[in-house]
A and B are shown apart, each in its own frame.
Chain A
Amino acid sequence: MSLELRNITKRVGAEVHLHQTNLVLPEGAFNTLLGPTLSGKTSLMHLMAGLERPTSGEIWFRGRNVTGVPVQKRNVSMVYQQFINYPNFSVYENIASPLRVLRLGQPEIERRVKRAAELLRLEAMLGRRPSELSGGQQQRTAIARALVKDSDIILLDEPLANLDYKLREELRDELPQFFAGRNCVVVYATTEPTEALLFGGNTATLHAGRVTQFGRTAEIYRHPADLVSARVFSDPPINTVAVEKRGAEIHIGDIRLPIGRTARGIPDGSYIVGIRPHHIAPTIENGKAAAVEGTVVIAELSGSESVVHFDFSDEIWVSQSPGVHPFEVGSIAKLFINMDHALFFGLDHRRVEGSE
């Protein structure tokens, strides 16, 4: 069972918010929409919720065409970036509110609120007002409310964006558990690649109103279909350079580097190579390491890792590695690329797969 978007588009006046999109989101899995601001995440969610109608195309849920069905009749819950709760209600009544609308009996309401509060660790807060809670607890209350009514579709639109870094980390660890074992479609929108990775499940990468790729999260991350998907799913940004591949080498101007296992068997010719910053290190790691040199532009030591921005073949490249590796700004840094993780893209920006 799934939620299906079939050939949908969304236009508002002359502006295209969503280009033609096909997407099948399975039930029982955690689905992440990953893309920068204005890439179309919220537009997609509004269509899924029934808050808006697509300009063309159809939306199917559990084998039924629901395109024209409004939000009130879709059994959908939403959680937003802003913490939205009823300020005059207690936490208990906030969580119970969707059940009161459904006119459930008091014992059933009691049971469901208790269960949701336990899951979200709000038991001790049930008597309080939202204003007496921390931001993290306020958002937990909003999530609990989305969970109690056993919705078919739960949409979470950047729910952690307004939280402190540490609270975000804590809720991020727990979130997938809240939905585990439920027969519903969970969709989570974020701008942050790390969040998508840590949730696992499925990810759709979005860019400028298009879904560029959809699949298992780790698969999408390591095997992007094209350059734009690789860019959306890289933080820090992926390093890229135009190369000529000749035999077992790539040529970047006068620089020659060995190809790694990802490029074995691809035809000679022009490519764009993408290297994620953590595949460039100040020391040789396992795998095929190719040495490069460049002038250090910025050097950052955060304690846990070292980040070096260096001038490489008219581009500023970034290396990110664990540990403490000091570099002097203005000096020439020698760094090693793990070519076994290099991504090769054709001039049409589609990724080219080697034969290993």
Chain B
Amino acid sequence: MATIALDNLRHSYMANPDGDADWALKKVTLDWADRGAYALLGPSGCGKTTLLNLVSGLLKPTEGRVLFDGQDVTSATPEERNIAQVFQFPVIYDTMTVYDNLAFPLRNRGVERGEIDWRVREVAKMLELDDLLKHRASGLTADGKQKISLGRGLVRSDVNVIMFDEPLTVIDPHLKWVLRSKLKELHQRIRRTMIYVTHDQTEALTFADSVVVMNDGEVVQTGTPIELFERPSHTFVGHFIGSPGMNVLPCEFTGDWPAFAGQPVVVANADAYRGNGGVLEIGVRPEFISFADAGIAVRIVKVFDAGRHRIVETEHGGHIIKMLVPEDDSIPGDSAFVKFDPEHTRLYRDGWLVT
């Protein structure tokens, strides 16, 4: 296992990158500690797969260095970097048994027979594949096959890092739930460095101790799931994480507080604002808005029943404000007042959190 450092990494798929738009990855510096669970999260085209391929050695960066345990591996091949990868679609040998599929990466490296046997059995047990070891892989269900893929990634003890590229995208919700929990449990048990790439916030936030949120070739924020949820450093993170995402409302600063549609709003970071202009916005998550006797007057536009809560879409002065209401709470008819939780309402300037 290894610590991984990315030092001023930049990448372009063009021969002579010129403007900002030519860089698939703009400039990334990151440190990943040994044995951690990390996620790269962002929309399609944000550069997360490029970043993953730079770490694995499938791509050589245009600029910058990749270091494993302090050693420069920028020019090393994927084999030399000694990593395991699991992809979106199961990569398995249909004609082989489950056992032989799991043993393959070990036999390939000349691991001795006795060790292969106990390693295969150990991994099969963790993934609940132990009853299927003698079965042919072709007879397995979609999630069974993806479990073999995961097993092949996990079976080697000597890898520096295990990387997962959208491993659960093609799996049904019920099984996704099971496999996601399994991966989390496996990490807690075997404590290897794992990097998980996904566009799905639920997968990233439940798996990783630290999540790197990317947009447009850049890292926007790195933090624990709680930090990303409670204190998004950019409105993009606020919007991208959370379902529905954070409400972002225009405001102007008058006196001590920002005002939204003429009404002062108490924000947690008002002291940090130095009056230096820019586009000002208030960010508040639907989870931190509630009905009140006084406050911002809203019209109830729509109510979505999501089962465990309702998503209530309200409107004030042409701006949509979404809020979450618990399953058993009542919702007023057409108009109401709402209030924002001051601890979780923040001021943003040009998209960035005012600090």
Contacts and interface: CB of A to CB of B under 8 A. Distances in A.
Nearest to B285: A304
A237 B44 contact: no
B191 to A, nearest CB: 13
Given A236-B177, A237-B174, A298-B181, A193 B307 contact: yes
B206 A302 contact: yes
A291 interface: no
A333 to B, nearest CB: 16
B188 A329 contact: yes
A32 interface: no
A322 B44 contact: no
Contacts of B45: 134
Given A191-B173, A237-B177, A322-B287, A303 B205 contact: yes
Contacts, number: 98
Contact of B287 (A169, A278, A304): A304
A287 interface: yes
B38 to A, nearest CB: 15
Interface stretch (A122-130, A147-155, A194-202): A194-202
Interface string B225-255: 1111110000000011111110000000000
B307 A303 contact: no
Contacts of A164: 43-44, 199
Contacts of A169: 243-244
Contacts of A236: 177
A320 interface: yes
A165 B202 CA distance: 9
Contacts of A166: 43, 199, 239-240, 245
B274 to A, nearest CB: 29
A112 interface: no
A298 B178 CA distance: 11
Contacts of B304: 197-198, 200
A178 to B, nearest CB: 15
Contacts of A298: 181, 184-185, 188
B200 interface: yes
A217 B304 CA distance: 12
Nearest to A199: B304
A300 interface: yes
Contacts of B199: 164-166
Interface string B213-226: 00000000000111
A48 interface: no
B109 interface: no
A278 B205 contact: no
A39 B309 CA distance: 28
A278 B306 CA distance: 12
Contacts of B285: 304
B314 interface: no
Given A198-B304, A302-B205, A307-B206, A36 B174 contact: yes
A298 B185 CA distance: 6
Nearest to B170: A161
B201 interface: yes
A329 B191 CA distance: 14
Contact of B44 (A134, A301, A302, A309): A134
B229 A304 contact: yes
B185 to A, nearest CB: 5
A301 B226 CA distance: 7
Interface string A274-303: 001010000001110000000001101111
Nearest to A324: B226
Given A278-B327, A300-B206, A329-B188, A194 B174 contact: no
A307 B206 CA distance: 9
A285 B327 CA distance: 11
B226 to A, nearest CB: 5
A235 interface: yes
A346 interface: no
A301 B185 contact: no
Contacts of A221: 305, 307
A320 B200 CA distance: 18
Contacts of B227: 303
Nearest to A191: B172
Interface centre among A198, A218, A303 (most CB of B within 10 A): A303
B225 A303 contact: yes
Contact of A218 (B43, B177, B241, B305): B305
A26 interface: no
Contacts of A192: 173
Interface string A308-333: 01000000000010101000010000
7 contacts: A193-B307, A197-B304, A278-B308, A302-B201, A303-B241, A307-B206, A324-B226
Given A276-B308, A303-B227, 7 more contacts: A166-B43, A194-B306, A197-B305, A200-B305, A278-B307, A303-B205, A303-B226
Nearest 3 interchain pairs by C-beta: A303-B229, A278-B308, A302-B205
Interface of A: 36-37, 134-135, 164-167, 169, 191-194, 197-198, 200, 217-218, 221, 235-237, 276, 278, 285-287, 297-298, 300-304, 307, 309, 320, 322, 324, 329
Interface of B: 43-45, 142, 172-174, 177, 181, 184-185, 188, 199-202, 205-206, 224-230, 239-245, 285, 287, 304-309, 311, 324, 326-328
